[in-house]
Amino acid sequence: MLVGDVPWEMFVDSCKRLRIMKGKEAIGLAPRAMEKCKNRL
């Protein structure tokens, strides 16, 4: 999403809803992605 694509207020609201997670908190959210990551090693 680029800033100019939507009204500024809508952009700010969506940014406020973003959740920054630690790696430990994200475990289990994308199990297939983890499998791909392990296969690369």
pLDDT under 70: residue ranges of the chain: 1-4, 26, 29-41
Dist CA 23 CA 37 (whole Å): 14
Dist CA 7 CA 15 (whole Å): 13
Task: Provide the 3-class DSSP secondary structure of residue 21.
Answer: coil
Domain ranges of the chain: 3-40
Dist CA 1 CA 19 (whole Å): 16
